[in-house]
């Protein structure tokens, strides 16, 4: 398996624009996680899914953020409208069972100008 | 609430020297503990994990960690550091389904 695949690797966008980050988890994994990494706050869990169903979105910072998982092999994290403070590295991770090894993608570095 | 403390933001060691990265956790139940490594521009890679049993766990790249319940610690060690070990290291505790990460320790290796 190629591991968790995220796209794009880098995204630069203007404030107010919509941004969509994409993730393909490892085939067969039941859980998918979206994390955000910033210098100030470190790694924060935004939301996670179990069998494509959102379980806990308490980490999503604002209503501008939304995430979907339409099928077992694809998830999106959308920010609309984007703001400069959303600039961060966004990681997707997947695992077979929660609370065990999570495999991380290489991340999407988002810059909002 | 669950939390992880990595007291050292930066550590510099000489190549060939031994390494210990500190990690303290707060968790009410028996913890699942992890160490991840992140190289610049890369995602996080699992080094090792502790679920139960032997409190000394071996991981990849010659790393090991020891779980000490009495000290709420899970320190990462390596007997001889290589220049390629320069990276950021994250300790994490499994809190239910979620992973709670420490702030990370940046390791610099000097030749």
A18/chain B closest Cα distance in angstroms: 24
Instruction: Give B63's contacts (C-beta < 8 A, 6+ positions apart).
Output: B35, B47, B48, B76, B77, B78
Mark yes or no for CB contact A4/B45 under 8 Å.
Answer: no
**Assigned token pair, A35:** 């994390």
Tell me which residues of chain A, numbers 82 to 101, contact chain B at a CB-CB cutoff of 8 Å.
Answer: 91, 93, 98-101
Residue B28 has pLDDT above 80, yes or no: no
Contacts of A56 in chain B (CB under 8 A): 97-98
Mark yes or no for CB contact B97/A106 under 8 Å.
Answer: no
pLDDT tens, residue by residue, A29-51: 999 999 999 988 899 999 999 99
**Assigned token pair, B36:** 């991840």
> SS3 string of chain A?
CCCCEEECCEEEECCCCCEEEEEECCCCCCEEEEEEEECCCEEEEEEEEECCEEEECCCCCCCCEEEEEEECCEEEEEECCCCHHHCEEEEEEEECCCCCCCEECCCEEEEEC
Neighbours of A106 (CB within 10 A): 18
pLDDT tens, residue by residue, B51-109: 888 899 999 999 999 999 999 999 999 999 999 999 999 999 987 778 899 999 999 99
Q: What is the pLDDT along chain A (113 residues), one digit of tens a residue?
A: 689 999 999 999 999 999 999 999 999 999 999 999 998 889 999 999 999 999 999 999 989 999 999 999 999 999 999 999 999 999 999 998 765 688 999 999 999 99
- The pLDDT score that the predictor gives to residue B46 is 94
- The pLDDT score that the predictor gives to residue B29 is 78
Tell me which residues of chain B, numbers 8 to 67, contact chain A at a CB-CB cutoff of 8 Å.
Answer: 32, 34, 36, 41-46, 49, 51
pLDDT tens, residue by residue, B56-68: 999 999 999 999 9
- Partner residue facing A101 (CB), from B42, B49, B103: B49
Helix/strand/coil for B49: strand
Mark yes or no for CB contact A42/B99 under 8 Å.
Answer: no
- The pLDDT score that the predictor gives to residue A99 is 56
What's the sign of the alpha-carbon dihedral B6, B51, A3, A17?
negative
- The pLDDT score that the predictor gives to residue A4 is 96
DSSP secondary structure letter of residue B103: -
pLDDT confidence bin for B41, thresholds 50/70/90: confident
List the single residue in A with minimal CA-CA distance to B94: A99
- The pLDDT score that the predictor gives to residue B31 is 86
Size of interface A-B (CB pairs under 8 A): 50
- The pLDDT score that the predictor gives to residue A1 is 66
Cα distance between residue B20 and residue A102, in whole Å: 24
- The pLDDT score that the predictor gives to residue A70 is 97
Contacts of B99 in chain A (CB under 8 A): 33, 45, 102
Longest dimension (CA), chain B: 42
Mean pLDDT of B40-60: 92
Mark yes or no for CB contact B43/A98 under 8 Å.
Answer: no
């Amino acid at each position: 398996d190629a591991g968790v695949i995220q796209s794009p690797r880098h995204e630069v966008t203007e404030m107010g624009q919509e941004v969509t980050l994409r993730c393909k988890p490892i085939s067969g994994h039941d859980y998918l996680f979206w994390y955000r990494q910033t210098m100030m706050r470190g790694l924060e869990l935004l939301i996670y899914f179990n069998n494509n169903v959102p379980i806990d979105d308490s980490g999503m910072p604002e209503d501008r953020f939304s995430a979907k998982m339409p099928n077992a092999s694809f998830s999106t994290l959308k920010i609309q409208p984007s703001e400069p403070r959303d600039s961060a590295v966004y990681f997707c991770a997947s695992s077979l069972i929660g609370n065990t090894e999570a495999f991380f993608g290489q991340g999407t570095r988002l810059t909002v100008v | 609430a669950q939390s992880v403390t990595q007291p050292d933001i930066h550590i510099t060691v000489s190549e060939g020297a031994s390494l210990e990265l500190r990690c303290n956790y707060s968790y009410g139940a028996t913890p699942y503990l992890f160490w991840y490594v992140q190289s610049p521009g890369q995602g996080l890679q699992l080094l090792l994990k502790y679920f139960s049993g032997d409190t000394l766990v071996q991981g990849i790249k010659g790393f090991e960690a020891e779980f000490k319940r009495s000290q709420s610690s899970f320190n990462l060690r390596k007997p001889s550091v290589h220049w390629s070990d320069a990276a950021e290291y994250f300790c994490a505790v499994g809190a239910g389904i979620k992973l709670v990460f420490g702030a990370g320790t940046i390791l610099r290796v000097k030749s």
